[in-house]
Amino acid sequence: MPRNAPQQSDLFALEPGPGQPPPAAADAPPPAAPRRAARPPASEPAQLEAAVVPPEMAAAAASLNPLIRFGTSSWNFPGWHGLVWGREYAESTLSRRGLTAYTQHPLLRCVSLDRSFYRPMEVSAYAALAAQVPADFRFVVKAPSLVTDALVRASDGRGVEPNPLFLDPAAAVTQCIEPAVQGLGATLGVLVFQVSPLPLAWLAEPQRWLQALERLFEAATAALAQAGHPALLALEVRDPELLTPALATLLKRHGVRYCLGLHDRMPDIEAQLPLLRALWPGPLVCRWNLQRGFKYEPARERFAPFNALVAPDPATREVLAKVIAATAIGGHAVFVTVNNKAEGSAPLSIWELAKTVLARG
């Protein structure tokens, strides 16, 4: 697909109606923020070696619509030697210093920052990551489970009691939005509130859930507006019964994107498209997490070291490519991050996805 192609997509069978606004400011890259240099430990090189990509991959990346950003879910995988890394490195080294080499891959223009889900990150931690990436790179930040999980969990993941900070507006602002904005600056692209599977008590009260979301996104949008930051807000869920017209109305009212969550707990991609249609037009946020029919730990064991497409899923790729192409042709930003557990190797999934998008053009 050539850059800035003028064609109109038929994905949603929708045309912007009279009076509809142009693409939001978040579709355009924000101005770059100054970088602060991060000094590596003395035992590590200042910059890790990046893999040399094939010429056809570099050419494909240059041909993609620049509104399209692909990335992976985290980046600290030694098995990507030859795909992303120029030589083998320890996981701890990649975690601390791998991003600069990661950003040299022409298809990797964003990354999902998953560690922020497990515990809130401080401004200094975000700033250290921002110092490793170029101005045009973007982070997709997961809000901490502190505010997105309805349960307080034990070390084994078992829910033990209700979480008093679930969807708490103040906690979301102070523990996620403010540190990410201050630390990442212009490299912050999307804040994803991935809500863990809800207990039955919440699922039985859909109005309570919607009211809590209303308060959360009122505070979140106000915080971003006060900071003058164009980051997107997105909601990802893990309960299919939450995908309702009422949810679409709420998200549209606040300018929040539905994060297309491709996961074993959710229906396939085609079954989730109605919610995207209800929110059209606008940017696309997608996290391809886990192939349907798999669970995380068995997938991890089967797919490691994540250097091959062990379980290719071309059907999902085809539909996702159609959504990506339609969104970009419509002039809207695209953020798609892929987990190793989607097909076996996130970098190779992105390469196949990029080729599929280009083939549509």
pTM here? 0.88
- Burial bucket for residue 235 (CB in 10 Å: 0-12, 13-18, 19+): buried
Percent above pLDDT 90 for the chain: 83
Q: Which superfamily does 47-360 belong to?
A: Protein of unknown function UPF0759 (3.20.20.410)
Contact 281, 252 (CB under 8 A): no
The pLDDT of residue 41 is 46
- Which of 246, 240, 138 has its CA nearest to residue 192? 138
Domain chopping of the chain, boundaries: 47-360
- Number of helices followed by number of strands (H, E) in the chain: 16, 10
Contact 11, 318 (CB under 8 A): no
Backbone angles phi, psi at 191, to 5 degrees: -110, 115
Q: Is the peptide bond before 281 cis (omega within 30 degrees of 0)?
A: yes
Tell me the average pLDDT across 50-58.
Answer: 97
The pLDDT of residue 47 is 83
pLDDT tens readout for residues 258-276:
999 999 999 999 999 999 9
pLDDT at 221 over 90: yes
pLDDT band at 207 (very low <50, low <70, confident <90, very high): very high
Who's near 183: CB < 8 A, 6+ residues apart? 121, 122, 123, 124, 125, 126, 127, 129, 130
pLDDT band at 46 (very low <50, low <70, confident <90, very high): low
pLDDT at 34 over 70: no
Mean pLDDT of all residues in the chain?
A: 89
Residue, of 40 and 307, whose pLDDT is higher:
307
pLDDT tens readout for residues 277-288:
999 999 999 999
pLDDT tens readout for residues 91-108:
999 999 999 999 999 999
pLDDT at 312 over 50: yes
Q: How far apart are CA 120 and CA 135, in angstroms?
A: 24
Contact 273, 299 (CB under 8 A): no
Tell me the average pLDDT across 161-169.
Answer: 96
Who's near 313: CB < 8 A, 6+ residues apart? 291, 342, 343
Q: Of 150-154, 177-181, 266-270, 300-304, which range is least confident?
A: 150-154
The pLDDT of residue 268 is 94
Tell me the average pLDDT across 1-16.
Answer: 41
The pLDDT of residue 29 is 40
How many CB atoms neighbour CB 160 within 10 A?
Answer: 10
